[in-house]
Amino acid sequence: MVMTATAQKPKLGYKDTPIIPGTEWHVHDGDRPQPRVVTSGSSFSHQAAPPSDAIVLFDGKDLSQWQGGGGKPARWKVEGGYMEVAPKSGSIRTKQGFADFQLHLEFATPSKVEGDSQGRGNSGVLINGIYEVQVLDSFNNPTYPDGQAGALYGQVPPLVNASKEPGVWQTYDIIFESPSWDDSGKLTKKANVTVIHNGCVLHHRREFTGNTPHRTNGDYSRPHDPEMFIQLQDHSNPTRFRNVWVRSIGEYDK
Ligand code: MG
């Protein structure tokens, strides 16, 4: 058999992307091991009331805490106690900024299954619009591991795949520590995140290697304020969200 120079397109993901620093894997490498599937039990609760010191970002009624890009009104659908991505209306972001916070949200990927891989139930929680914790329908939906539900997009696959069926409500609890830079613009702390999905730990104080672009490595070349907006992504799939709240981590002995 004659080998041709034509590279075969990999079944999943990419091989023509850069290596992720500190790993042997390409960005969106389809050969990276798929996270083990875990059926989450009932160790998490839906629709639990927020703690008393939480800022409620969405209580099922309106988008008053949210806006679109450029300060335009958020145009997602609100009904039945949830908000739903209105495809092509744009991502939405909180009006307020937060540093070092605990975020709770519930999401449901579309019960009508359409598309596959990155095209199925794709949304995302993007801190400051640049650090993405992926939202995807990862129930029997193979994709490149650093792009599945709960991945730090393009960087770190989740420790396990704790995804529920399409249309079923799921929880994310995300604890995020902001990056910081000194006055000269030198990075002094990377952003790190803990993610709990349906009661299962996906990441524990895992550092972002930078922002999370598609098909390339991110970095920390653009210092920003420690207070960051929280963005939910319009990736053209009608994913739903509800019971969204945030609270400051705070400090000891204060
Ligand atoms: Mg996404």
Q: Please tell me the distance between residue 209's alpha carbon and the centre of ligand 1 in angstroms.
A: 17
Return the structure tokens found at 164. 């529920």
Q: Please tell me the distance between residue 56's alpha carbon and the centre of ligand 1 in angstroms.
A: 23
Q: Please tell me the distance between residue 12's alpha carbon and the centre of ligand 1 in angstroms.
A: 16
In the predicted model, is pLDDT for residue 11 greater than 90?
no
Beta-strand ranges (E) seen in the chain are: 36-37, 55-58, 66-67, 77-79, 82-84, 92-94, 101-108, 123-127, 131-135, 160-161, 170-177, 180-181, 187-189, 192-197, 200-207, 230-232, 240-248
Identify the DSSP state of 120. Answer: S
In three-state secondary structure terms, 101 is: strand
Strand partners, 174: 103, 195
Q: Cα separation of 83 and 109, whole Å? A: 12
Q: Cα separation of 20 and 137, whole Å? A: 24
Q: Please tell me the distance between residue 147's alpha carbon and the centre of ligand 1 in angstroms.
A: 8
The arithmetic mean of pLDDT across residues 186-192, rounded, is 98
Q: Cα separation of 179 and 157, whole Å? A: 21
pLDDT in tens, 74-121: 999 999 999 999 999 999 999 999 999 999 999 999 999 999 999 999
Q: Please tell me the distance between residue 48's alpha carbon and the centre of ligand 1 in angstroms.
A: 25
Percent of the chain with pLDDT over 70: 96
Residue with tokens 């008393």: 52
* Side chain identity, residue 93: R
pLDDT in tens, 17-50: 999 999 999 999 999 999 999 998 876 778 889 9
Q: Cα separation of 43 and 20, whole Å? A: 33
Q: Please tell me the distance between residue 221's alpha carbon and the centre of ligand 1 in angstroms.
A: 22
